[in-house]
Amino acid sequence: MEKAAKVKDLKEKLCVTVKGNSLALFKIKGKIYCTDSKCSHASGPLCEGKLDKTTVTCPWHGSEFDVTNGKVKHGPAVNGIKSYNIKVKGGDIWVDI
Ligand code: FES
């Protein structure tokens, strides 16, 4: 597991780079989720997307993904994105990458 961020720095969503990978962290009702930040359509930054419950909308062309599992909910993206297991320890968020 790799340290990705401090829990206190994650309000609703956060862009992080872990081992050269652009990841998105989301906090929903106190629970933390991590996915790839690059949209599977054309690499738009999902960590900057609008979050509505567990759905993030890509800021570039509006694809929607479920941040709890990375599945695509609405195109133009066809494929889902990778989601990662996380662990909180000592005030830090660790990502299984
Ligand atoms: S890059 Fe995300 S919808 Fe196109």
Domain that holds residue 81: 2-95
How many structural domains compose the chain? 1
Cis, bond preceding 76 (omega within 30 deg of 0) = yes
The tokens for 78 are 């066809």
Specify the 3-state DSSP secondary structure of 9. Answer: helix
Question: Ligand 1: which of 22, 38, 39, 79 to mutate, judged by most atoms within 8 Å of the beta carbon?
Answer: 39
Question: Structure pTM?
Answer: 0.95
State the Cα–Cα distance between residues 28 and 56, nearest whole angstrom: 11
Q: Kindly provide the b/e burial profile for residues 87-96, where b requires at least 16 CB atoms within 10 angstroms of the residue's own CB.
A: eeeeeebbbe
Question: Per-residue pLDDT tens for 49-94?
Answer: 999 999 999 999 999 999 999 999 999 999 999 999 999 999 999 9
CATH number at residue 50: 2.102.10.10
| Distance from Cα 62 to the centre of ligand 1, integer Å | 6
Average pLDDT over residues 2-17: 97
